[in-house]
Amino acid sequence: MATAADITAIVVAAINLLAAALGAWAWRRDEGARIFWITARGGQFATTALAGLALVMLLAGYHPASRLLWLYLLLPMAVSIIAEQLRIASAQHVLDANDLEDAKAVGRLAVDEQHLIVRAIMRREVAITALAALVIVFLALRVLATA
């Protein structure tokens, strides 16, 4: 079981590291790179697999050398869920910062201003998702030390 945890953790770390790097690149270039979002969603899927592995290991009666393993197997999923909620809330934050009550108010702005608002929202979403991927990399690598 420890080998399965190690392999899964390495895959999760690799995909999320790539997502974090692509996110940094997209954020720096101020664009929402499609490849970043595909990789980020892949990282979230892999993170779910890591949590699923924890369930399988628990049901199989696996007893790791350190009980911290359970934490490192499950925390990436929690980070992913929290980041997704923060990403969703980021749009409202940008709207509030620009004194706009909702998305319909953005539609009443000039086209250039609409683009600025959309880019600001996208940039925040990319940053949140990329940072979450980086945290997940760290947690997944901790699985290797505790499995």
Q: What is residue 1's predicted lDDT score, i.e. its pLDDT?
A: 65
* 15 pLDDT more than 70: yes
87 residue type, one letter: R
Least trusted range by pLDDT, from 32-36, 56-60, 83-87, 100-104: 100-104
Average pLDDT over residues 97-125: 87
User: What integer is the mean pLDDT of 93-113?
Assistant: 85
Instruction: Output the pLDDT for position 51.
Output: 93
DSSP E strands in 39-108: the ranges are: none
CA distance 124 to 141: 26
